[in-house]
Amino acid sequence: MAIAHGVAGTQFRSPSLPHRNVDRSGEGWATLHTDGGFVLAFQRVEDHRPPRWPDSAHPQQFHLDLGVKDLERAQEDVLDRGATLLDEGDGKRSWRIFADPAGHPFCLVRD
C-alpha cells in the first residue's frame, strides 16, 4: 500500500512553512496543524498514481498556495526537503510551482 506523502510528511516540513505539529493520529492518516489553526489531513491510498503537472491524464488531487515571507529562502527549504521545482516563472512574478516528494504540485507565493 503506497502512502500519498504530501506536505504533511515529516521529511518535508519546512521552517518557511509555519506549522505547529504533524499528528500521525491513526493508521493511514497524518494531519498538519498550522500556526493559524488551519488543519490539513492526508490519507493513505491504495495504488496511488502521482500527478504529473500539467498532464491532465495524471491530474493533481489538490493544489496548495503557501504564503511565505522570503520566496528565495522558502524555495531553498523545500528543495532541500525533496521538492522539485516545476516552474520558476520569469523571475518577476510572486510565485513558483513545485511538486512535493510524491509529485503533488503546490505553489510558494510571496506574502
pLDDT tens, position by position, 10-29: 445 555 555 555 555 566 77
Beta bridge partners of 42: 30
Region for 91 from its dihedrals, namely left if φ exceeds 0, alpha if ψ lies in -120 to 50, beta otherwise: left
What domain range is 77 assigned to? 10-45+62-110
Residue range 28-72, pLDDT digits in tens: 777 777 777 777 777 777 777 788 878 888 887 777 888 899 999
pTM for the predicted model, two decimal places: 0.63
Q: Is residue 57 part of a domain?
A: no
Count of the separate structural domains present in the chain: 1
Q: Does residue 102 contact residue 43 with C-beta atoms inside 8 Å?
A: no
The pLDDT, as a whole number, for residue 48 is: 76
The pLDDT, as a whole number, for residue 6 is: 46
- Output the domain CATH number for residue 96: 3.10.180.10
Q: Is residue 29 part of a domain?
A: yes
The pLDDT, as a whole number, for residue 35 is: 76
- What does the H/E/C string look like for the chain? CCCCCCCCCHHHCCCCCCCCEEEEEECCEEEEECCCCCEEEEECCCCCCCCECCECCCCCCCCEEEEECCHHHHHHHHHHCCCEEEECCCCCCCEEEEECCCCCEEEEEEC
Average pLDDT of the chain to the nearest whole number: 76
